[in-house]
Amino acid sequence: MKKYVCDVCGWEYDEEAGCPEMGIAPGTKFEDLPDDFECPECGVGKDMFTEQ
C-alpha cells in the first residue's frame, strides 16, 4: 500500500491505516477517497498530495 504526503503541511495519508477519524476505513486507496477529501490538518484538496 502507498503513502501520500500533503505538500502544504506534511500530514501523511497511509492507505494501509486509512483515516478512521474521518470515517475512512483502513485499506482505502488514495484514488478511492472522495473528490472533496481535504487534508485534516490544513484543509487542502487531494491535488496537493504527493505519493511517497
In this predicted model, what pLDDT tens digit does every residue of 1-52 receive, in sequence order?
Answer: 999 999 999 999 999 999 999 999 999 999 999 999 999 999 999 999 999 9
* Global pTM value: 0.92
CB 2 within 8 A of CB 30: yes
User: What is the pLDDT, as a whole number, of residue 27?
Assistant: 98
Within a 10 A sphere around the Cβ of 45, how many other Cβ atoms? Answer: 12
pLDDT at 49: 98
Query: What is the predicted pLDDT for the residue at 42?
Result: 98
Quote the pLDDT of residue 38. Answer: 97
Q: Which fold has domain 3-51?
A: Rubrerythrin, domain 2 (2.20.28)
Report the C-alpha gap between 9 and 2 in whole angstroms.
18
